[in-house]
Structure 1
Amino acid sequence: MKAKALICATALTAICASPGAFAQVAGLQPLGGTVEQTNALLKGWSVRRALVDEPVYNDLNDKVGSIYDVIISPDRKATYAVVSVGGFLGMGKHYVAIPVDHFEIRDGNLFLAGATKEALKSVPEFEYNKLEKATKPHKVKAE
């Protein structure tokens, strides 16, 4: 996976650096970003590819759950990871929100120190804000 990302990043860099490539200019590229933003994008993570559905392990190397979602705060920072615990074939899963700074990454795997399935199931279940749709930016209808 890392090799694939490196190949894609290298190819994108080569295309952007080629003589025929044009630099993005702020204000002229309504959907693009600045060169600095594009460079930051190349160094960033895809939540969907790198985190969602990835297993979470404890200190004993036991799988205690999987990442279900990542919550982004209004200041644009990832603040919580929603962990899916237990269940079978999508039934009986328990979702808990854990602050992202509680996780460690070791050898490309996510670890949650001291966690067990039982301890995570005892945490009150995470529920999405029922007002979430009301607080989202309004969608613009095409005319």
Structure 2
Amino acid sequence: MNRSFVLPAVALAASIACIGARAQVAGTVTLAVAKLEVVASGWSAKRQILGKTVYNEDSEEVGKIDDLIVAPDAAVSFVIIGAGGFVGVKRHEVAVPVDQLSVRDGLVYLPGATKAAIKALPNFEYAQ
């Protein structure tokens, strides 16, 4: 079963706030109860995505999800997968389009990937 990780920016911000039966107001931003219900049923980047191990179709570990890249249209378009290294030192991070991932039984898969293939991709660097 394929699932894309779509996390609107509003959902990310609202998931941090207390979810109650009334609308929330923060400055000029108002979130209606209906939006809060969508947030409550969505994915939590911290709890369900970040740090997840990524496997290939042979169930071999190929890396971990270190970060999410949210496009200007508020959709998560890339995950940053880190491979190798020790405690983050000399870790090789690459950007992988979200649509290449699949989720089965709570595990994240990147078909055709190996640790060597991840390390052979260009290292991802954040814009300054």
Normalised by the shorter chain, which TM-score bucket?
0.7 to 0.9
Q: Which structure has more strand as a fraction of its residues?
A: 2
Q: Give the Cα–Cα distance (whole angstroms) in 1 for the partners of residues 42 and 23 of structure 2.
A: 19
Residue 35 of structure 1 and its aligned partner are, at CA, apart by 1.3
Q: Which of 91, 100, 103 in structure 1 is aligned with 2:98?
A: 100
State the one-letter code of the partner of 1:114. Answer: G
Task: Give yes or no for the alignment of 1:40 onto 2:38.
Answer: yes
Q: Give the Cα–Cα distance (whole angstroms) in 1 for the partners of residues 116 and 38 of structure 2.
A: 39
Q: Give the Cα–Cα distance (whole angstroms) in 1 for the partners of residues 61 and 90 of structure 2.
A: 17
Residue 32 of structure 1 and its aligned partner are, at CA, apart by 4.9
1:17-36 per-position Cα deviation (integer Å, ceiling 9, x unaligned): xxxxxx328xxx23651111
| More deviation, 76-85/30-39 | 30-39
Q: Which of 47, 58, 61 in structure 1 is aligned with 2:56?
A: 58
Q: TM-score, normalised by structure 1?
A: 0.71
Residue 87 of structure 2 aligns with which residue? Answer: 89
Q: Which runs of 5 or more residues in structure 2 are unaligned? A: 1-17
Q: Which structure has more helix as a fraction of its residues?
A: 1
Indicate the structure whose relative CO is greater, using CA pairs within 8 Å and at least 6 residues apart. Answer: 2
Q: Which of 56, 65, 68 in structure 2 is aligned with 1:67?
A: 65
Task: Give yes or no for the alignment of 1:24 onto 2:6.
Answer: no
Overall identity of the aligned pairs, in %: 36
Point out the structure with max Rg over C-alpha.
1
Aligned length: 109
Residue 43 of structure 1 and its aligned partner are, at CA, apart by 1.1
Residue 72 of structure 1 and its aligned partner are, at CA, apart by 0.1
